[in-house]
Chain A
Amino acid sequence: AQKVTQAQTEISVVEKEDVTLDCVYETRDTTYYLFWYKQPPSGELVFLIRRNSFDEQNEISGRYSWNFQKSTSSFNFTITASQVVDSAVYFCALGSYNNNDMRFGAGTRLTVKP
């Protein structure tokens, strides 16, 4: 069975702090994809990143970075020097190569205070 766990329900930080959002997944598939989406108050899910199971290279995009570790089945997301505009709910998701059923975690609500 596929499952995504985001243990942190809510995180609150002060602007300019770094923050890491945790994501742990379970799957029996050898080929799979991991995603992070941001959901601002408007409700639309905004794509941030996709990684496939064969690419464990960490990635950095501006203030965002992702740490994919197959050994611990984790795909953590770090925001460096957080800003108020980063306030949103962040979802980690797992997609199987064999079907199109993308499983989402329950989300982490990040609040960045000025």
Chain B
Amino acid sequence: GAGVSQSPRYKVAKRGQDVALRCDPISGHVSLFWYQQALGQGPEFLTYFQNEAQLDKSGLPSDRFFAERPEGSVSTLKIQRTQQEDSAVYLCASNTGQGFGELFFGEGSRLTVL
């Protein structure tokens, strides 16, 4: 499709399990962002890529969170040893990288850690 695609849409994990969330941005979009949205809250910035380079990872809450974008298109957000507080919707967004244009968001991956 033409939009940002995220998978899985829903993921239930037991505490301690590792999870991987995938984001397929709009074709040709240079910039890719990950956000975490807790229930009833606004999205919180996690990390940002320009092509394959991770330029900002200041929002990652701990070293259990890791993101990559090895070929400058698809990105994976990995959470190791999940904890209950990791339960949230993880949103991916992309844009052309020119100026500060609008971000195009995917529908998110809802993670529930039991």
Residues 10-65 of B contacting A (Cβ, < 8 Å): 31, 33, 35, 40-45, 48, 55-56, 58-59
Contact mask A38-55 → B, CB, 8 Å, 1/0?
000011111100101000
Which A residues touch B3, using CB under 8 A? 44
* CB atoms of B58 and A101 under 8 A apart: yes
Q: How far is the CA of A47 from the CA of B95 in the complex (A)?
A: 12
Q: List which B84-109 residues lie within 8 A (CB) of chain A.
A: 89, 91, 93, 100-108
Cβ of B46 to closest chain A Cβ, rounded Å: 10
Chain B interface: which size bin? 20 to 34
Rounded to whole Å, the gap between the CB of B95 and the closest CB of chain A is 9
Interface residues of A (CB under 8 A from B): 4, 6, 33, 35, 37, 42-47, 50, 52, 91, 93, 95-97, 99-107
9 new A-B contacts at CB < 8 Å, known A45-B103, A46-B105, A96-B100: A6-B42, A35-B102, A43-B89, A44-B3, A45-B43, A45-B105, A99-B56, A100-B31, A104-B44
